[in-house]
């Protein structure tokens, strides 16, 4: 049991409510800018809730604590979602929510390590996170530090050759402290990722590269939690990957139903509508 899951077990806030809080904060940040990668944020909220309130070891008051699990956001544009969970976890102050994407903000549109407590790397040039994660996992092993390195990436990044260099490298170096999280929402800038450069059969690919593989519904919290537990505990001499099939805009049905692309267009009057819809489904 991690330090954080012990805290979570004592908390009376459910994971469902954490995920709902993350979605709500992301929508509020989107409203500030009138735009943002809200589709991705709503889709990944359950994975982030399970990450920060079940799986990860960290200290909110000391985000650079040496014993923390490292959580890398390779997909820099998902920053809006990570800021939401960092606020929910108490690593970022909620009072700064409305600075999102503004001048002098600690929360720029694309995530950068130098701006934000809790942001481990500068993502955004897609396909870089997993390679950095390999180096951090090697470094932790050299230090005999038992922390895990998590790399959160997207299905679009599977098109980058560097992802597969890193995948091969992680297995070659038997990095059982490395857990890759793939958000498979089947969307990228020009359309469906499976129609741009198809990565299927994806589980077979990772397995062939020597990884312990799970593929679960990334919007089913119980399944997500179970997958994190299984990834950490797996009796496998090598790295682990969890592929999360997620639904863009999850939790706001009228946006889910929209013809969704990488960048979901939300009209000015729709932010409050989206918040109202979300509020209707507020969990205990």
Partner 1 sequence: MTMNSLARKHEPRRVIPKEERAATSAMIASLAAEGYDTVSAPFGHALAEAARKDDRIVGLTADLGKYTDLHIFAQAMPERFYQMGMAEQVLVSAAAGMAREGFLPFATTYAVFAARRAYDFIAMAIAEENLPVKIVCALPGLTTGYGPSHQATEDLAIFRGLPNMTIIDPCDACDIAGMVPQLVAHPGPVYSRLLRGKVPSVLTRHKPDYKFQLGKAQLIREGADVLVVSTGFMTMRALDAAVALERDGIGVAVLHCPTIKPLDTATILAEAGKSGRLVVTAENHTKVGGLGEAVAGTLLSNGVTPSFRMIGLPDDFLEAGALPTLHDMYGLSVAKVAEQIRGWL
The residues that touch partner 1, with contacts defined as CB under 8 A, are: 113-114, 120-122, 124-125, 127-128, 130-140, 142-143, 161-162, 165-166, 168-169, 172-173
Q: Which residue lies nearer to partner 1 by CB, 39 or 131?
A: 131
Instruction: In angstroms, give the least distance from the CB of 82 to partner 1.
Output: 17
Instruction: In angstroms, give the least distance from the CB of 177 to partner 1.
Output: 12
Instruction: In angstroms, give the least distance from the CB of 232 to partner 1.
Output: 20
Exposed, middle or buried by CB within 10 Å (0-12, 13-18, 19+), for 7? exposed
Instruction: In angstroms, give the least distance from the CB of 166 to partner 1.
Output: 5
Main-chain phi, psi angles of 244, to 5 degrees: -105, 115
Exposed, middle or buried by CB within 10 Å (0-12, 13-18, 19+), for 54? buried
Q: Which residue lies nearer to partner 1 by CB, 22 or 158?
A: 158
Instruction: In angstroms, give the least distance from the CB of 130 to partner 1.
Output: 8
Radius of gyration for the chain, computed over Cα atoms and rounded to the nearest angstrom: 18
Q: Which residue lies nearer to partner 1 by CB, 2 or 162?
A: 162
Instruction: In angstroms, give the least distance from the CB of 276 to partner 1.
Output: 39
- List Cβ neighbours of 40 (8 Å cut-off, separation of 6 or more): 75, 77, 78, 80, 81, 154, 183, 185, 248
Q: Which residue lies nearer to partner 1 by CB, 82 or 149?
A: 149
- List Cβ neighbours of 42 (8 Å cut-off, separation of 6 or more): 23, 26, 27, 248, 249, 250, 251, 252, 255
Instruction: In angstroms, give the least distance from the CB of 44 to partner 1.
Output: 22
Q: Which residue lies nearer to partner 1 by CB, 73 or 255?
A: 73
Q: Which residue lies nearer to partner 1 by CB, 175 or 216?
A: 175
DSSP 2-38: -HHHHHHHH-S--HHHHHHHHHHHHHHHHHHHT--SH
Rounded Cα gap, residues 108 and 43, in angstroms: 20
Rounded Cα gap, residues 217 and 221, in angstroms: 8
Per the DSSP assignment, residues forming a β-bridge with 215 are 243
Q: Which residue lies nearer to partner 1 by CB, 140 or 221?
A: 140
Task: Report residue 107 as tokens.
Answer: 């929360």
Exposed, middle or buried by CB within 10 Å (0-12, 13-18, 19+), for 136? buried
Instruction: In angstroms, give the least distance from the CB of 138 to partner 1.
Output: 6
Q: Which residue lies nearer to partner 1 by CB, 20 or 209?
A: 209
Instruction: Give the C-alpha distances (Å, rounded to integers) separating 131 from 78, 178, 277.
Output: 18, 11, 39
Q: Examine residue 201 and say whether the peptide bond preceding it is cis (omega within 30 degrees of 0).
A: yes
């Amino acid at each position: 049991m991690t330090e954080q899951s012990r805290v979570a077990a004592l908390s009376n806030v459910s994971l469902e409510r954490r995920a709902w809080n993350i979605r709500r904060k992301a929508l509020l940040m989107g409203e500030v800018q009138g735009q943002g990668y809200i589709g991705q944020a709503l889709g990944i909220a359950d994975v982030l809730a399970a990450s920060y309130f079940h799986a990860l070891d960290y200290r909110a008051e000391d985000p650079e604590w040496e014993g923390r699990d490292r959580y890398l956001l390779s997909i820099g544009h998902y920053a809006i979602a990570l800021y939401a969970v960092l606020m929910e976890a108490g690593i970022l102050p909620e009072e700064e929510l409305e600075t999102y994407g503004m001048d002098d903000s600690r929360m720029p549109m694309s995530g950068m390590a130098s701006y934000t407590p809790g942001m481990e790397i500068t993502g955004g040039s897609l396909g870089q996170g997993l390679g950095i994660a390999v180096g951090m996992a090697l470094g932790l092993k050299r230090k005999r530090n038992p922390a895990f390195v998590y790399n959160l990436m997207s299905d679009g990044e599977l098109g980058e050759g560097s992802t597969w260099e890193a995948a091969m490298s992680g297995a070659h170096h038997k990095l059982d402290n490395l857990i890759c999280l793939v958000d498979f929402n089947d969307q990228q800038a020009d359309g469906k990722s499976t129609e741009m450069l198809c990565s299927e059969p994806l589980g077979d690919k990772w397995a062939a590269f020597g990884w312990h593989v799970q593929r679960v519904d990334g919007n089913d919290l119980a399944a997500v939690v179970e997958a994190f537990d299984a990834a950490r505990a797996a009796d496998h001499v090598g790295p682990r990957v969890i592929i999360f099939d997620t639904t863009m805009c999850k939790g706001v049905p009228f946006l889910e139903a929209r013809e969704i692309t990488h960048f979901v267009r939300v009209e000015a009057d729709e932010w409050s509508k989206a918040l109202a819809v979300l509020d209707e489904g507020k969990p205990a």
